[in-house]
A and B are shown apart, each in its own frame.
Chain A
Amino acid sequence: MAAITGVIPRPTSYAGIWGWMTTVDHKRIAVLYGVTAFIFMLIAGVEAGVIRLQLASADSDLIGPGRFNQMFTMHATTMVFMVIMPLGVSFFNFVIPLAIGARDVAFPRLNALSFWLFLFGGILMHVSFLVDQVPDAGWFSYANLTEKPFSMNRGLDYWAISLLVMGSASVAGGLNFVVTIINLRAPGMSMMRMPVFVWMTLITSILLVLAFPVITVGLIELVMDRNFGTHFFIPSEGGDPVLWQHLFWVFGHPEVYILILPPMGIVSEVLPTFSRKPLFGYPFVIFSGIVIGIMGWAVWSHHMFTVGLGPVANSVFTITTMLIAVPTGVKIFNWIGTLWRGSIEFTTSMMFALGFVALFIVGGLSGVSHAVSPSDFQQQDTYYIVAHIHYVLFGGSIFGIFAGIYYWWPKITGKMLNETLGRLNFWLMFIGMNLTFFPMHYLGLNGMPRRIYTYSAEFGWEHLNQLASVGYVVLFVSFLIFILNVLQTRNSRKVSHDPWDAPGIEWSIASPPPPYNFAELPEVEGRDHYWILKDRAEAAGTPITEPEALVDESTIHMPSPSYWPILIAAGVALIGGGLLSHYALSFVGGAIAMMGAVGWSNEPPAAPSEHH
């Protein structure tokens, strides 16, 4: 086989669909990630709409309880694993090599493999809709609700196996970015000169690499329980459903920081740029990020206060959970310190970043309120929790990501998003978000449990639910405006390489960046390197107005495209698909993945007649 695959030359075309499918360029992969995740976001948004429509009136019978369970399960699973994580990874891909002064990530083909695994995993999960066997046990799928007698159809198998496929993508991506950030920094870019976003990516990647194996084990045990007759989580045979909760939350809490650290990094880039002063207390922001990354492993049982772990365990986890609020608070004070006496420029990106800080404070405070285990006994499983997670994940992560989209869009496309539409987008999203999720605090404290498909009018929850549903409509409009804004950039004019007068070195090259990024690797002189250069040039009376000059692409060796990542990913996804349908398909998938691996390792280093 090696002889056959060894002679297949690397693809040469960079154009068309084929060019996208074989690409190993980190910037193109970033676009693939971004577009895919955005499509999944629309799907999850529609699911949220169905939920809000169902809950808009008391005793509603729009959809039955079965369908409702599927909606909230898929909404949360999609948002966590297929939207916020990949949108973060999209920024890693685009920004990291540019921000550390590298030509690409350390393993370009592995990077492509990560994307295709993610895409196929996501598609596999959504195949469950086509066969109408949709996962319906919530995004943390507590045993033994997930066991065979309680969930007879294959929905949970789709859930577990797709997550295994996407988990392998995340581990591969995490490994890649750890190595990239440690090993591909431009000369002079010491660790303590790296932009905060790069630091947060490093911490996130380490968390990905260490946390996903734990959920992998949990998912494997779940799949075995459901398909191979084991009793890991079945109490009547001596198993313990609580073990699933532990395995899930040992992964799940670092996962929360995987979702929030990248947006924190983005905000730490945006705030200094538009306050026109360096980030306040850079080392504190970095070290608080590291502390969050470490302490994130010591708080998982706060998701399980009501399980009955006993007062000792509950007290320990109460204390660690309250402690982890400290480094988060440190970050918030540093952001506010950055704004202090800055000459603030209210661009859309800046407004989203400020929205992030404001809403994240609200979410963080409600979080501290259920860090206290006695108070959590009241809040557990109510809409108060729903309000909290949406303040940190929507008000936090999504706002941070939107700040990043508006900030880096000119670098990605060379064109500007419209600021007027952007402001409208921001205000509608800000109002809609608070309208939707703020009433949920009250609903929760008034006793409305989460995950109920309807409620009786006598409970008095109807008005607040209607308010939340109206908020959903506002949010929906704000997303439409964002899409409109994206579409109109096709006609907008080109902007300069550095429209924000930003500090990062990614702004010193042309927009959109050439395939090789930097014609010459920069010699980094300090934090906010590009500001240093610009100030010096200004002082010398020769301000920088042009990006780094383009050079002939063929003089710089870049990795050629490759067929194998998409093939291996397809093989792995087929293995998963086979487990769900017919085992023979798994063997076909295994053979394809194996062939891909052989082809991968025998692949010639460059395409013929390219880059000599």
Chain B
Amino acid sequence: MAHAVEHEYTTTGLNHRKMLMWVFLGSDCLFFGSLIATYMVYRGQSLVGPYPIDIIDVPLTTVSTFVLLMSSFAMVQALSATQADNKKGLVTWLLITAGLGAIFIGFQIYEFNSFKNEGLTLGGNLFGATFFTLTGFHGAHVTLGIIWLLAMAYIGGKGRLGPNTVLDVELLGLYWHFVDIVWIVIFTLLYLIGGFDAGPVPIPSP
């Protein structure tokens, strides 16, 4: 796709693919917006435990949030390395990004597993259903990003990435940072604010 289209005339002077990515991210905002809205609507409506306060481990997730933020930093370094035609650097930074993403997923798997052991399941209560659906779909986005990162690192390792294919890395970066900012929202709402909910409370909840 890149090869044929890149040199073509465009009305606005903006690249097709980059525009596609941004419009897609706008669309994905509504996807996560709906999932988050579902969580917020059902916040405090679970009839049985475990409730968030019983199982949410904020310190642990703060660490994994930090890991994901750092992966965004590694991603911009990969982009800079691509622009500077630093072939070794770009592969290294892409792999670091993928590695940090994988650590984040590792944290998530650990968390899901320990929650399951505490009795939080998809079918157990609404908190479980909304929590696993929202964070699960976020995790799926991260996983897809890791696969993409590894594929790009593989291509970069063959020496096929450089200043003239910088857009390929940039688009990956946009996707990766988007996944990061979604997590910023999820972390605040589900952990920092919602993590202390203990069963139903009358509206307005303090």
Contact = CB atoms under 8 A, between A and B. Distances in A.
Interface string B111-122: 000000000011
Contacts of A316: none
A495 interface: no
B133 to A, nearest CB: 7
A611 B89 CA distance: 37
Contacts of B41: 240, 243
Q: Give the interface centre of A231, A243, A250 by most chain B CB atoms within 10 Å.
A: A231
B20 A210 contact: no
B46 interface: yes
Interface stretch (B27-35, B53-61, B66-74, B101-109): B27-35
A187 to B, nearest CB: 8
A247 B11 contact: no
A171 B129 CA distance: 26
Contacts of B133: 220-221, 224, 230
A521 B9 CA distance: 11
Contacts of A214: 30-31, 34
A126 B60 CA distance: 48
A605 B3 contact: yes
Contact of B38 (A174, A211, A221): A221
What interface size band does chain B fall in?
35 or more
A247 B126 contact: no
Contacts of B14: 182-183
Nearest to A217: B34
Interface in A195-232: 209-214, 216-218, 220-221, 224, 228-232
Contacts of B33: 213
Contacts of A228: 122-123
Interface string A24-48: 0000000000000000000000000
Contacts of B26: 209-210
A209 B129 CA distance: 26
A605 B126 contact: no
A221 B132 CA distance: 11
B19 A182 contact: yes
A171 B27 contact: yes
A396 to B, nearest CB: 26
Contacts of B130: 232
Nearest to B127: A238
B1 interface: yes
Interface in A242-262: 243, 247, 250
B124 to A, nearest CB: 9
A175 B154 CA distance: 28
CB-based closest 8 A-B pairs: A229-B123, A213-B31, A217-B34, A230-B129, A213-B30, A605-B3, A605-B4, A185-B11
Given A229-B122, A243-B38, A601-B151, 14 more contacts: A109-B1, A182-B19, A209-B26, A214-B31, A216-B31, A221-B38, A224-B122, A230-B123, A230-B128, A230-B129, A232-B126, A239-B45, A243-B41, A606-B4
